[in-house]
Structure 1
């Protein structure tokens, strides 16, 4: 049985060995998995917000924002010898319905778009996704097989 690494909100992890990367509580947040199957390298970030430019903190929590999380995961994987990176994403739900939906309240959609833009900028192909909707998700990436298991509240389990 592979070791399970839990990734909390705004956190990330990178591994060079067979592991299960798991994060729970993906509502409007997006789980980003970037991996090199052939080299056995894998990573996951639990992205909360689309853009680090909105941060008021002097030191930015790298895993918190789509732009910084994707950049950091790619950098660390490449330092570890990754060549053929691929990505999978899940999450980005619209958890709350507002009577007057302002663009700033559509965090899930904005997170999805920002993650996809960051992946595209890094030239990482997005090979699978399960995004949007109105329900939260828990995801597990099995690095040895490349399977992403997604448990969606009130929906069930999906594997991509």
Structure 2
């Protein structure tokens, strides 16, 4: 998890089944990003790294952005990642973790009343994302595909 202000960008590299969540307000040049790896912290014992879970990672990011002057009721989100990186003969939990991550992120953001304004999720390839808090552009870079902005 990290935050940035005007003059900087914020990025995360190598989103496969993981999901990158960017939170910001339309009228402020501050943003935050958390890179989550798993959907639910309650399913893992001794989970010291709360940032790797959708439920606790998003909570930490919301709280940090509130400390920096953003209002939860004005926050909006852009998300990317959640790919199905490996093909299994059956739809095992491991083979479907990207989809589970995306579902968990959507649910947690809904609980916080934070609207997702754009997303690039699913499919079968990894992503790197870069967010500019001034333009509000989330640049999505994928190997072998055209870079695009959401």
Normalised TM-score (structure 2): 0.92
Match of 1:63 among 28, 51, 56: 51
**How far did 1:60 drift?**
2.7
CA contact (8 A) 1:37 1:144 kept: no
C-alpha distance in 2 between matches for 1:121 and 1:53: 17
Higher strand residue share = 1
Match of 2:109 among 90, 104, 119: 119
**How far did 1:121 drift?**
0.3
Unaligned 5+ residue runs, structure 1?
A: 1-11
1:7 maps to what in 2?
A: none
Describe the SS at the equivalent of 1:156.
Answer: coil
C-alpha distance in 1 between matches for 2:11 and 2:94: 28
Spell out structure 1 runs of 4+ moving beyond 4 A.
none
Structure 2 residue 118 is matched with structure 1 residue 128: yes
Structure 2 residue 90 is matched with structure 1 residue 90: no
**How far did 1:152 drift?**
1.6
1:74 maps to what in 2?
A: 62
**How far did 1:100 drift?**
1.7
Normalised TM-score (structure 1): 0.87
Unaligned 5+ residue runs, structure 2?
A: none
User: Can you list the C-alpha shifts for 1:110-137, whole angstroms capped at 9, x where unaligned?
Assistant: 0000000010000001000000010000
The count of residues paired between Structure 1 and Structure 2 equals 148
Question: Which stretch has the larger CA shift, 68-77 or 24-33?
Answer: 68-77
C-alpha distance in 2 between matches for 1:153 and 1:101: 25
